[in-house]
Structure 1
Amino acid sequence: MMKLSGFADEISPDLMQQITVCMDEGIKHLEFRSAWNTNVLKLNDAELLKAKTALESNQMRVSAIGSPVGKIGIMDDFESHLRAFERAIHAAKVFDTKYIRVFSFILPQGDDWRRHRDEVMYRMKQMVKRAEEANVILLHENESGMYGDTPERCLDVLATCSSPNLRQAFDPGNFVQSGVKSTLEAFHVLKPYIEYIHIKDVTLHNGKEAPAGRGDGQLTELLMQLQSMRYNGFLSLEPHLVYSGMYPDHTPAELFVIASQALKEILQHIGEDWT
């Protein structure tokens, strides 16, 4: 049985509104990225505990820390970024989740990625070592403009670091935006490392986000593949529909519901239960 989660800060900066909409949709987890207009890594200890109390009192949990770790330039200072990474580990412990989302660093536009590979691997290995010590799992998200924005370079990061504490958060929409022609082929390349799924769909002709199943991310086929594997992990909604322009008259909360309902329609179509 697959578990639904989501970046509920797309609903509202207000945590209670995030919780209410998710509860109404039967979603029992959040991928915690921000609350009260503040990124999770910038929340102080009192605010983290306030958020934890609000979630627990509504029988909700955190599926992962949706951190921006690794979402800096490859030539930006890394030592100060490691301090932010420590804050992500702290937040994971507060919310009792083993997962922290990370990225593999922004490359200078137009540069040959080979020039930066050694530095990417050095930084990723440093973070993986700390993750191993802290007993947390880093979820590497593929994203356009990063070192890991193609299946092959994602695989390079995962295989080079070679640790059970580094897995792949597979984002089909981001692959489409990176020009990957088949997310299904990308899935098979990364299959041994995939431990978490972001539900984002994108239409290839304009690179805009769409509800699950209505773009070119092959969401139905991907979910069927997961079903055949008896995947019981998270499907985390990150629809970004507010940016698509497809629903100009809808509130962010309404857009999140549209995204949630689109995912559930696919799950019902393939006969997959969810919780």
Structure 2
Amino acid sequence: MKSPYSMSGIADEAASSIAVQIATHKAIGLSHIELRSVDGSPIDALGKSEVSALIARIKQADFVVDCLDSRIGNWSRTVEYPLDDELAEIDRLADICHALGCKSVRIMSYSRGTFSAHDWQERAIERLFVFVNRAKEHGIMLLHENCDGFAGRSPSDTLRMLRLVDSTNLRLLFDTGNGLAYGYDALAFLRPIVDFVDHVHIKDGMKSGGEVTYCRAGCGHAGVAACLALLFSSGYRGVFSIEPHLAVLPHAGRADPENDRRIGLYTECAVSAGDLVRDVWHGITQHV
């Protein structure tokens, strides 16, 4: 019986090269893939020939691309980042989306930097209006992640963003493990926003003394199983994409060499996450 949900993964956590990213997903048994970078370059920064090669490889592998993970509004940028540059990113990513049959681009809502809380929020909202309008022109969806950024701090801030921007081209990406790094309980964050979630990242870890050590899903403190149960009970039937953070830590600028160990860690996390999602799904359906 076909599963009502799909498993995927942010493939650059397995390997830098797209060939190995694809091969790893095939070996795991995945037909879905989430793209963030290739050979160390963000997707939007790839040259024309590199994009053409990427598209050809994905199509040859017959993969479904669930989401393109952009740098728009991310933890490395403040609201002073050139707006035109980010609009150009949306344009480039939209072209790649159309070529791959992908509809979603991940965004965030900026690091605070030296701005006051009011200026940070107001300027971020103004930019999101512009981005969403551009996304609407391209026919793509922007997915805001609960990561660094004013709208990722709390569910009330997330809901405020959705209310003010008020667009069907803006939905949410929920990461089960981000609360470990940003100081909130994932399940408590998810409850008020669950109906707006269109994509899920699976991450888990253990926090001790302010430090987070990432681990396989279900083995840490993030409450991944409870989040999955809430998502399923609320009608979510979308993609669960792994982001293990075992060999790759973007915030820390760390990426282990492309080797069998890195691939093995990613594979273990994909298999364990798939098992956990399946077990939670079966638990939910048995009680319906």
Q: Give the TM-score of the pair, scaled to structure 1.
A: 0.90
User: Aligned partners of 2:91, 2:20: CA distance in 1, in Å?
Assistant: 28
Contact 1:64 1:100 in 2 (8 A): yes
Gaps of 5+ in 1: none
Contact 1:32 1:40 in 2 (8 A): yes
Shift of 1:113: 2.1
Alignment partner, residue 260 of structure 1? 270
Which residue of the other structure, out of 206, 213, 220, is the alignment partner of 1:215? 220
Superposition misfits of 4+ residues, deviation over 4 angstroms? none
Describe the SS at the equivalent of 2:179.
Answer: helix
Give the aligned residue type for 1:138: L
Q: Cα gap change, 1:272/1:43 in structure 2, threshold over 3 Å: closer, same or farther?
A: farther
User: Aligned partners of 2:71, 2:218: CA distance in 1, in Å?
Assistant: 27
Alignment partner, residue 185 of structure 1? 188
Aligned pairs (5 A) from 1:242-253? 242=247, 251-253=261-263
Contact 1:101 1:141 in 2 (8 A): yes
Aligned pairs (5 A) from 1:1-275? 1-71=4-74, 72-108=77-113, 112-144=116-148, 147-180=151-184, 182-205=185-208, 206-242=211-247, 251-272=261-282
Shift of 1:91: 1.6
The superposition leaves residues 127-173 of structure 1 with CA deviations (integer Å, 9 ceiling, x where unpaired) of: 01111111110010111355523222222212211111100100121
Describe the SS at the equivalent of 1:106.
Answer: coil
Shift of 1:195: 0.8
Q: Cα gap change, 1:252/1:149 in structure 2, threshold over 3 Å: closer, same or farther?
A: farther
Describe the SS at the equivalent of 2:192.
Answer: helix
User: Aligned partners of 1:155, 1:95: CA distance in 2, in Å?
Assistant: 31
User: Aligned partners of 2:149, 2:105: CA distance in 1, in Å?
Assistant: 20
Shift of 1:11: 1.1
User: Aligned partners of 2:278, 2:103: CA distance in 1, in Å?
Assistant: 29
User: Aligned partners of 1:69, 1:259: CA distance in 2, in Å?
Assistant: 27
User: Aligned partners of 1:261, 1:267: CA distance in 2, in Å?
Assistant: 10
Alignment partner, residue 286 of structure 2? none
Shift of 1:122: 0.2
Q: Cα gap change, 1:177/1:153 in structure 2, threshold over 3 Å: closer, same or farther?
A: same
Q: Cα gap change, 1:238/1:256 in structure 2, threshold over 3 Å: closer, same or farther?
A: same
User: Aligned partners of 1:56, 1:213: CA distance in 2, in Å?
Assistant: 33
The superposition leaves residues 162-215 of structure 1 with CA deviations (integer Å, 9 ceiling, x where unpaired) of: 1111001001211221100x2111111111211110111132322222211112
Q: Cα gap change, 1:55/1:250 in structure 2, threshold over 3 Å: closer, same or farther?
A: closer
User: Aligned partners of 1:232, 1:59: CA distance in 2, in Å?
Assistant: 22
Q: Give the TM-score of the pair, scaled to structure 2.
A: 0.86
Give the aligned residue type for 1:163: S
Contact 1:177 1:202 in 2 (8 A): no
Shift of 1:59: 2.0
Share of identical aligned residues, percent?
A: 24
Give the aligned residue type for 1:242: A
Give the aligned residue type for 2:206: T
Q: How many residues align?
A: 269
